[in-house]
């Protein structure tokens, strides 16, 4: 298995030299500066690749192995195969990436909002901070800040009453902060920042699009792009929904094993794969993570390894340390290692420690939410330790 590290580019708080110090060898990155929907050029990809892979004297080499992500325009999610121009632009980006020898592309198909949290610095018992999704605060935002039409029908009376209490206790600063977190697109997301009016307009645009229709649109997208990926030796990896359930009344279609099975049945191309994210899938108590890894082993080309802890009835959760929480990371890695051993050296699974607690010096620094250096370094070291114990020395 290959040790990856999410790097947000030359302006990121974590430098490439600092990445080298973590022991990671494979970079996971994207051209975040390119507007969503505009095709990446080969020149742009090669410039970023040169920055990553030109190794200073005496330093360890890094390889750009995974694109995370080429954002899928909203029009594709709403219109499927009818969004021909947007799909052609996406294929052009894929072709530029393939021309540079980068063989894995991660993407998601979450409508309007990407990965969603309500708090970025929830204080854990150790004093480190973590990201958290608080169902009550989310409901308060949905019902009383966004004031989404029809939202009250999706919450029980008890939920509505509790959300009202939570909202009434929130200060103006807290309301502004949760609004910023949810609507402004967290770093690494594949959605654009939105104002509250724009947010409402986006939701209205999905009227009439249920899970069946959204899945159909994803299948149409995959039917269009997988031939290009397969011809160029590129693996497409669909990231699970985060959290793996409906938000704002929007359908989500990559939340369970059955969701992935339906997509693999519909588009059986070997290029159609998954990004196996233990944190996203693990939030849903019914997801058996080792069983999912075993079932779709040949489809897994990229793995996000992190853990979450479900709170109360499971609708609230926070990011836990990598070997804590609700994810049996040892069992997960046993399955991934078994699959990895069946592969050739050029086709091994790239994994990265995903998210991480904000801790030690990072508590006093400007960090990318979810991606502080030290918390992810701790996670990577713990994952590397498990791999060594399993007799699988990571590269």
354 as an active site residue: the answer is yes
301 as an active site residue: the answer is no
275 as an active site residue: the answer is no
Grouping H, G, I as helix, E, B as strand and the rest as coil, residue 265 is: helix
Which residues are paired to 276 by β-bridges?
303
322 as an active site residue: the answer is no
Catalytic residue among 135, 322, 355, 357: 355
Q: Which two tokens stand for residue 94?
A: 């894929």
277 as an active site residue: the answer is yes
Catalytic residue among 217, 239, 301, 357: 239
DSSP calls for 163-208: HHHHHHH--HHHHHHHHHHHHS--TT-SS----HHHHHHHHHHTTT
Catalytic residue among 206, 260, 276, 371: 371
Q: Which two tokens stand for residue 305?
A: 């390894």
Catalytic residue among 242, 326, 340, 354: 354
Plot region of 275 (φ>0 → left; ψ -120 to 50 → alpha; else → beta)? beta
DSSP single-letter state for residue 124: P
- Start-to-end CA distance of the chain, whole Å, equals 6
What angle do the packed helices 42-53 and 84-99 form, to 10 degrees?
A: 40
Pairing of the two strands 350-353 and 272-277: unpaired
Catalytic residue among 74, 134, 277, 326: 277
> Among the residues of the chain, which ranges form H helices?
16-22, 42-53, 74-79, 84-99, 135-140, 157-169, 172-183, 196-205, 211-231, 257-266, 278-282, 289-295, 329-340, 373-389
304 as an active site residue: the answer is yes
Grouping H, G, I as helix, E, B as strand and the rest as coil, residue 212 is: helix
Catalytic residue among 135, 301, 304, 318: 304
Active site residues: 239, 277, 304, 354-355, 371
């Amino acid at each position: 298995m290959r040790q990856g590290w999410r790097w947000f580019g030359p302006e990121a708080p974590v430098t490439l030299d600092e990445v080298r110090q973590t022991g990671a060898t494979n970079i996971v990155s994207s051209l975040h500066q390119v507007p969503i929907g505009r095709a990446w050029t080969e020149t742009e990809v090669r410039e970023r690749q040169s920055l990553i892979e030109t190794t200073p004297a005496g330093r360890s080499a890094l390889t750009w192995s995974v694109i995370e992500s080429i954002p899928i325009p909203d029009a594709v999610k709403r219109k499927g195969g009818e969004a021909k121009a947007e799909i052609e632009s996406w294929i052009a980006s894929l072709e530029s990436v393939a021309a540079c020898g980068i063989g894995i592309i991660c993407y998601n198909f979450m409508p309007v909002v990407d990965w969603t949290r309500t708090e970025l610095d929830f204080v854990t018992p150790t004093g480190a901070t973590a990201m958290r999704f608080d169902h009550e605060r989310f409901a308060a935002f949905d019902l009383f800040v966004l004031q989404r039409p029809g939202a009250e029908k999706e919450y029980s009376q008890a939920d509505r009453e509790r959300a009202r209490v939570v909202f009434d206790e929130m200060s103006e600063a807290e309301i502004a902060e949760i609004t910023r977190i949810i609507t402004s697109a967290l770093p690494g997301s594949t959605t654009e920042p939105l104002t509250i009016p724009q947010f409402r307009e986006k939701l209205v645009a999905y009227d009439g699009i249920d899970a069946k229709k959204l899945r159909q649109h994803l299948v149409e997208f995959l039917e269009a792009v997988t031939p290009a990926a397969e011809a160029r030796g590129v693996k497409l990896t669909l990231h699970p929904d985060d959290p793996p359930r409906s938000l704002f009344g929007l359908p989500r279609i990559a939340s369970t094993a059955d969701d992935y099975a339906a997509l693999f049945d519909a588009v059986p191309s070997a290029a159609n794969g998954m990004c196996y994210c233990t944190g996203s899938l693990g939030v849903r108590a019914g997801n058996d993570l080792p069983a999912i890894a075993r079932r779709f082993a040949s489809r897994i080309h990229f793995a996000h390894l992190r853990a979450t802890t479900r709170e109360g009835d499971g609708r609230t959760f926070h990011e836990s340390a990598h070997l804590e929480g609700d994810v049996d990371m040892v069992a997960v890695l046993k399955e991934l290692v078994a699959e990895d051993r069946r592969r050739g050296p050029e086709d091994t699974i790239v994994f990265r420690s995903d998210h991480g607690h904000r801790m030690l010096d990072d508590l006093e620094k400007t960090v990318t939410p979810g991606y502080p250096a030290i918390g992810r370094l701790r996670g990577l070291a713990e994952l590397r330790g498990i791999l060594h114990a399993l007799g699988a020395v990571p590269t």
